[in-house]
Amino acid sequence: MNSTINEGSKRAYHTIANAEFTGVFDSSVYTYDNMYGGNPRIGYGCDYHLFIKYGDKVYMDVKRVGEIVISFAELQKNKYWKYYYDLSLVLTNDKNLVIQDIEYKGEFPKYNNNYLDKQIYQDKRLWSIDTAFIECNINTKTKKIISSDDVCYYKINPYDLVNMENTSQDDLYNFESLYMTQRELRNRKFDETRTVYNELAIEYRITHGDKK
What is the bridge-based pairing of β-strands 20-32 and 131-137?
parallel
170-191 average pLDDT score: 85
Q: What percentage of the chain carries pLDDT values higher than 70? A: 77
Q: Where does residue 58 fall: left (phi above 0), alpha (psi -120 to 50 degrees), or beta otherwise?
A: beta
Q: What is the pLDDT of residue 128?
A: 92
Q: Where does residue 209 fall: left (phi above 0), alpha (psi -120 to 50 degrees), or beta otherwise?
A: left
Grouping H, G, I as helix, E, B as strand and the rest as coil, residue 14 is: strand
Give 101 or 103, the one with higher predicted confidence.
Answer: 101
153-177 average pLDDT score: 96
Q: What is the pLDDT of residue 112?
A: 45
Q: How many CB atoms lie within 10 A of CB 28?
A: 15
- Tell me the per-residue pLDDT of 110-158, one tens digit each, with 9 for 90 and over: 544 444 445 678 778 889 998 888 877 766 666 777 777 678 899 999 9
Report how far residue 134's alpha carbon sits from residue 143's, in angstroms, rounded to the nearest whole number: 7
Is residue 21 predicted with pLDDT exceeding 70?
yes
